[in-house]
Amino acid sequence: MKYEILLFDADNTVLDFDKAEEQALKQAFADCNLYYDENVLTVYRRNNIKQWQLFEQGIITDKSEVLSSRFAETFKELNLEISSGKTADLYEKYLHSGFYVINNAETVLKQLQSLKCKLYLVSNGVLSIQNSRMKGSGMDKYFIKRFVSEEVGCPKPNKVYFDYCFRNIENFDKSKTLIIGDSLTSDIQGGINAEIDTCWYNPKHLANNSAILPTYEIDNLEKLISIVNSK
């Protein structure tokens, strides 16, 4: 077996964050009597991605700034003159209950466990939300440990983040380790920085116009089985 230690990103790799995000945002806007449509979601997602990328790059060092700025920027762009604070708080509340799971994720995790793989979760998400969603979805039982950047002290793709993870994995072997995630800038670049093999989960067949080159690319988690089992 080629890989024995598997590091899984959480959002949009194991858990369906897109669905949880949309439902939480829609409910938060409804509670605040704000108009909601697809454009609201598009604007919010663009600002959310921008803030998280700044966090990954170390330009923003306080995660709470990410959580507030993404809504402040969205409200400014949508010309909403009320405070964004209440909506942001409600969104966080509803996101805690976003228990949606990626297609085939549980089946694949079960198969990997049967192969005696050691599974770990690596996430930049908000600690309380990740813990709630992993437990509520039932996915927590497949992972030996969860490494969330809030506890580690820095985010993916920082090498320091991965050094921390590696120190806390029993019988760690870099040559037997693979990271699986949907983000080129966070998961794949992180794996490259940490000098481990990488697998880009890309179900939407997005174009890779960057210089970040994964070891593998898959559009279905079931394809992991043959990668892990390869010689």
The catalytic residue among 9, 182, 187, 197 is 9
3-state secondary structure at position 186: helix
Instruction: Give residue for tokens 């909403």.
Output: 80
Amino acid (1-letter code) at residue 1: M
Separation of CA 9 from chain center: 5
Taking alpha carbons only, the member of 152, 148, 127, 126 closest to residue 9 is: 148
Q: Known catalytic residue: 9?
A: yes
Integer CA distances (angstroms), 113 to 5, 10, 108, 215, in order: 11, 17, 9, 22
Distance separating alpha carbons of residues 167 and 170, to the nearest angstrom: 8
Report the catalytic residues: 9
